[in-house]
């Protein structure tokens, strides 16, 4: 479930949300299954926000960020299989290849280089188009 306090700020709009993010730079926004379809969040800083495991994440992102591409990368622990929705995502230019890691320590050690850096590069690439 999404963090209710964070969700409350986000529902106020992009400007209050971005101000909150500036004041709380170390907080990773928890928007897990927040149900944001229909919310106007154009310009909202959703960098590193947890939008994971939503049944329709691509539709959710298109609804809250119309006309904006957001880099998305499936993260898989160990030998887990890709969720059935991810193969459908390959058609979108903002979807990065899945990244398979082996446990929390491995993910933490490789997060910057294998997840954050490629997502930021993809976002810059998409902004240039």
pLDDT tens digits along 72-92 = 788 888 876 666 556 666 777
Q: Tokens representing 123?
A: 């976002």
**pLDDT single digits (tens) 109-128:** 999 999 989 988 888 887 77
Same domain, 47 and 63: yes
Instruction: Give me the number of domains the chain comprises.
Output: 2
Same domain, 64 and 89: no
Burial of 68 (0-12, 13-18, 19+ CB in 10 A): middle
pTM over 0.75, yes/no: no
Domain holding 54, by residue range, is 1-68
Same domain, 6 and 51: yes
Nearest to 95 by CA among 127, 119, 71: 71
Same domain, 3 and 61: yes
| Higher-pLDDT residue of 110, 49 | 110
């Amino acid at each position: 479930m999404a963090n209710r306090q964070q969700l409350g700020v986000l529902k106020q709009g992009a400007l209050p949300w971005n101000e909150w993010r500036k004041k709380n730079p170390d907080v990773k926004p928890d928007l897990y299954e927040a149900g944001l379809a229909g919310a106007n969040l154009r310009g909202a800083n959703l960098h590193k926000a947890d939008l994971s495991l939503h049944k329709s994440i691509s539709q959710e992102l298109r609804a809250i960020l119309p006309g904006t591409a957001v880099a998305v990368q499936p993260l898989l622990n160990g030998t887990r299989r890709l969720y059935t929705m991810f193969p459908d995502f390959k058609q979108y230019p903002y979807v990065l290849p899945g990244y398979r890691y082996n446990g929390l320590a491995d993910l933490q050690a490789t997060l910057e280089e294998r997840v954050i850096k490629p997502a930021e590069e993809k976002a810059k690439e998409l902004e240039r188009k």
